[in-house]
Each structure stands twice: as C-alpha cells, then as structure tokens.
Amino acid sequence: MKRWFVVSTAVFTVACSVLAAMPAAAQTAGTYTPPRTREGQPDLQGVWQALNTAAWDIQDHGASLGVPAGRGVVDGNAIPYTPTALAKKQENFKNRDALDPINKCFLPGVPRVTYLPYPFQIVQQADRIAILHEYSRIIRFIYMNGNPHPAGKIDWYMGDSRGRWDGNTLVVDVTHFNDETWFDRAGNFHSDALHVVERFTRTGPDHMLYEVTVEDPKVFTRPWKMSMPLYRRQEKDIELLEYECGAYLLKQEWEKPDSALLR
C-alpha cells in the first residue's frame, strides 16, 4: 500500500488535484515540514474539510437512505462502552432520527464539528487559534496564552480548548463539556465528563492528519482514538459561505401547527 502510494503520488499530484483519491492509510504523521506563520508557528491556516462519513457514523457501517456506507474512523473500530452505556448507545441508534441533538441545530460539540460535511477555516494568531466553521457560523477559539483551563465546572457545548505545539503538531486539550452532544448520527454519545485531546498534523501541502483521543470514565471503560485526514479545499477563490442551521429550522417549524420543536 505504502509503496503503491509513493510511486503513484508523483504522477497523481501533477496530474490532478482531486483530494478524495488520497488514501487514508498514507495519512500518518510523518516527516513533512510545514511552512511557518509570521509568528513562527507551523502554518495550519486555510480552508479544510473532512471527506468521510463520520458525521453519520464514526464506526464501519453499511448504507441506508441518505447515508453513504463508510469505513469507520475509530482505531480498531470498537468503542469501549460500559455495559450500561452500550445499551444507551443502542437505544440512541434506534431512535437516532428523533434524538440526534444536531436536529435542533445547537452547537454540535467537539470533535463532531470537525467532520461535519462543511468546510472550516483555521486562522492563527500568536496566542490563539480560531477555527471558523461554515456550519452555523460557529467560531471555536483555541487558547495558547499560557492560561490553564478555567476552574470548573462549566457546561459548554464546545468545551474549553487549550492548545500547545508538540513539534509541528497542534495538540488541543478540550474539557468542560455538557452531555448534550453526540459524536455522530448513530447515537455514539458521551457524558459531561468528556475529555478530548486533538492532534492536528500537516502531512503535506494540502493534507492534515486529525487524531482524537476520547476519554470519559462515566461512559467508556478506557480511552479510545479516532483519526482521519483533513483536506485543503482546492477550488479557486474558496471561501466559507453560510449554513445558518438554526434560522432554516426555525423558519420551517414556525408555520407548523404540530411542530414538536416549538412546543
């Protein structure tokens, strides 16, 4: 696989810039040295997007109406739920169309926001990184100003993100979550004890490896990991447009006499 990749890459890169063809297995944090920002940090800036089916199901899954089949992004595919939590996950899955919190257009949490099928833009400053998401115009700040996580307990949808550089890798420690978001449409969930560590590593001019360690002693018996490549959007004049989820939903629900949401 790797050899196939090395041989074909040279031709492939020159021939076309079709992102989706990049084999995920080649996405290991390797030796690529990214350019630096004016402040001297590895430059992760630009418009990126995940190209996978993790927003529907982070595990291996077959297709169903409106849901493409997909390879999972979880290392080893299994998620180490406690027995009680596994029962809840299965219940969530059964009722996913009704229960998925994203139906309400609320903030989707971390890491789900990263692999929603919408582009996002990374903007770096010396002591802060902003991730601007097209989805609901969400803005996520990662602080690198030396402040630790503020004293809790805080219930935030997106948690509190504190970053640091590990070589060329951006490592983000995220805590202070609420229990109101899921990892995907398939009912994979967490509690307010969720602790996420993300690693963003450039693997090439147009690729970035995104690795996530998930820890939540109330729901999982041990930490587990997911990883996926992120792709730089190649379109000329690419820019974030607008997906105002809450506005469209409310507009649709407003006129419904039987709206379950507006009750």
Partner 1 sequence: MKEWLLTTLGTAAAVLLVLPITGRAAGGEPQAFYRPDTPKFPQARTWVAQKAKLPPYKAPRTPDGVPNLQGNWNGPVGGGNDDLEEHEFIDVTTPPQESYVSDPPDGKVPYTPWALAKRNEIRAGLGRGWPGEGSQRLYGDPNALCLVGMPRISFGAQEILQKPGAVILLTTNTYRVIPTDGRPHMSSDAKSFFGNSRGRWEGETLVVDVTGLNGETWFDSAGNFYGPNTHMIERWTMVDPNTIDYEITIEDPTLYTRPWKMNYPKRRAGTGPGANPLSTNAVGAAGRAPASDPYAKEFWEQTCTEGNHDNVVILKSLGFKWFNAVVAPK
Q: Identify which of residues 116 and 226 has a Cβ nearer to partner 1 in the complex.
A: 116
Q: Identify which of residues 128 and 225 has a Cβ nearer to partner 1 in the complex.
A: 128
**Segment contacting partner 1 by CB under 8 A, of 3-11, 59-67, 143-151, 215-223:** 143-151
Burial class (CB in 10 A: 0-12, 13-18, 19+), 80: middle
Q: Which residues make Cβ contacts (< 8 Å) with residue 149, sequence separation at least 6?
A: 160, 162, 173, 175, 176
Q: Is 105 in the site for partner 1 (CB under 8 A)?
A: yes
Question: What six digits make up the tokens of 240?
Answer: 């974030």
* 263: three-class secondary structure by DSSP: coil
* 103: three-class secondary structure by DSSP: helix
Rule CB under 8 A: choose which of 12, 32, 93, 141 binds partner 1.
Answer: 141
Q: Identify which of residues 19 and 240 has a Cβ nearer to partner 1 in the complex.
A: 240
Please say whether the beta carbons of 214 and 188 come within 8 A. Answer: no
Q: What 8-state DSSP symbol labels residue 185? A: T
Q: Is 39 in the site for partner 1 (CB under 8 A)?
A: no
Please say whether the beta carbons of 13 and 7 come within 8 A. Answer: no
Q: Which residues make Cβ contacts (< 8 Å) with residue 162, sequence separation at least 6?
A: 142, 143, 144, 147, 148, 149, 172, 173, 174
Please give the sequence-ordered ranges of beta strands (E in DSSP) within 101-206, or none if there are none. Answer: 120-125, 128-133, 139-143, 160-166, 169-175, 195-204
Rule CB under 8 A: choose which of 39, 91, 166, 239 binds partner 1.
Answer: 239
Cα separation of 174 and 194, whole Å?
A: 8
Q: Is 63 in the site for partner 1 (CB under 8 A)?
A: no
**Segment contacting partner 1 by CB under 8 A, of 16-24, 151-159, 167-175, 183-191:** 151-159
Q: Identify which of residues 2 and 36 has a Cβ nearer to partner 1 in the complex.
A: 36
**Segment contacting partner 1 by CB under 8 A, of 60-68, 164-172, 208-216, 243-251:** 243-251
**Segment contacting partner 1 by CB under 8 A, of 23-31, 48-56, 130-138, 213-221:** 130-138
Rule CB under 8 A: choose which of 132, 171, 193, 197 binds partner 1.
Answer: 132
Q: Is 106 in the site for partner 1 (CB under 8 A)?
A: yes
Q: Is 237 in the site for partner 1 (CB under 8 A)?
A: yes
- Backbone angles phi and psi of 155, in degrees to 5: -105, 90
Q: Residues in the site for partner 1, rule: CB under 8 A?
A: 38, 45, 104-107, 121, 123, 125, 130, 132, 137-139, 141, 143, 145-147, 150, 156-158, 160, 237, 239-242, 244, 246-247, 250-251, 254-255, 262-263
